[in-house]
Amino acid sequence: MIFPQSKKNSYLCGAKKSYLLSPHTKQTKPKTNYNIMVSYKELGLVNTREMFAKAIAGGYAIPAFNFNNMEQLQAIIKAAATEKSPVILQVSKGARNYANATLLRYMAQGAVEYAKELGWEHPQIVLHLDHGDSFELCKSCIDSGFSSVMIDGSHLPYEENVALTKQVCDYAHQYDVTVEGELGVLAGVEDEVSSDHHTYTDPEEVIDFAQRTGCDSLAISIGTSHGAYKFTPEQCTRNAEGKLVPPPLAFDVLDAVMEKLPGFPIVLHGSSSVPQDEVDTINMFGGKLPDAIGIPEEQLRKAAKSAVCKINIDSDSRLAMTAAVRRVFAEKPGEFDPRKYLGPARDNMEKLYRHKIVNVLGSAGKAE
């Protein structure tokens, strides 16, 4: 309560000065501290440890879908809840900056509750940092409720990669957060990650790397790459219809890694298949994506039956979203309500995610 200041109340209980406020005193509310550490368990999320063990034993892979906005998140959760598939919500550094770290935390919590509303009684949802590039970024994500992080030191000299990955693991494991490391370099461009060449993972390094870092899973390079242009036309052949056919993945490298690290969780990045029907739709309605090509789904199915228990997919959903939006703009040029073009985009992405879950990764029904 605020009292008018007077001589009578200038001294109370022997105090030298009055602590009562005058009517002219400006009151300030204490600032809320948004940097307080939040455990992913409070948000209803899970880490990848048990999820990966089941996937390896069951011969399937967990979908790791990147998202940047609400419509992508809605589509991912609806697809996973409908198919009862465990799912990894992936967020890059750029996506986290775009969405806002605080909003992202509550979006993840809301995703868990949305899954329950859809009838998924026990959702198995991971919030994962994709391509973390520093200890500070990984720590920030862990502190704000991520249940899994990737530290990508693959561009560093080997010993520096080991040291950085171990630093992140040592911090993350205190809070039961799982960590993905990387050996080998993927070509292509995705957000802040860019390389004009790829370097296959050296199977001779994987045992030393896993043991010294303590990482929970390992991303390897066997010929996948980031973006919608995973191969140049010169790297491909053409079939009878004149369409590009990409070179096969280096399954010999994967086999050698699995021989060195039997039963260890392996991750494939850059595994979008770049659906040609979506590319054709984009190009039909004013887009320019010549010679866009991805990883054939039959090769991903083969990988999913091995120790590859996490397969990352980003570009495919971008293409599905863009194709739907371009179609609406072309067919209904007077439309300006975002719900009328983002709604169809969301539906198209959900269809894509369900296809990946059921027909490519084999994870449907694994999270009843």
Given 130, 133, 216, 316, the catalytic residue: 130
- A 10 A CB-CB count for 328 gives 17
- Three-state SS at 256: helix
Do 44 and 112 form a contact (C-beta atoms < 8 A)? yes
- Three-state SS at 336: coil
Question: Could you give the C-alpha distances from 8 to 4, 20, 23, 358, in angstroms and in order?
Answer: 10, 12, 16, 79
State the SS3 of 266-283. Answer: EEECCCCCCCHHHHHHHH
What angle, rounded to 10 degrees, do the helices at 101-117 and 70-83 form? 30
* Known active-site residue 316: no
φ/ψ of 216, rounded to 5, equals -90, -20
Taking the C-alpha atoms of residue 334 and residue 168, their distance in angstroms, rounded to an integer, is 51
Taking the C-alpha atoms of residue 185 and residue 156, their distance in angstroms, rounded to an integer, is 10
Do 186 and 150 form a contact (C-beta atoms < 8 A)? no
Tokens matching residue 4: 């008018």
The answer for residues whose C-beta is within 8 angstroms of residue 13's C-beta and 6 or more apart is none
Do 217 and 61 form a contact (C-beta atoms < 8 A)? no
Tokens matching residue 207: 């045992």
Do 265 and 254 form a contact (C-beta atoms < 8 A)? no
Catalytic residues: 130
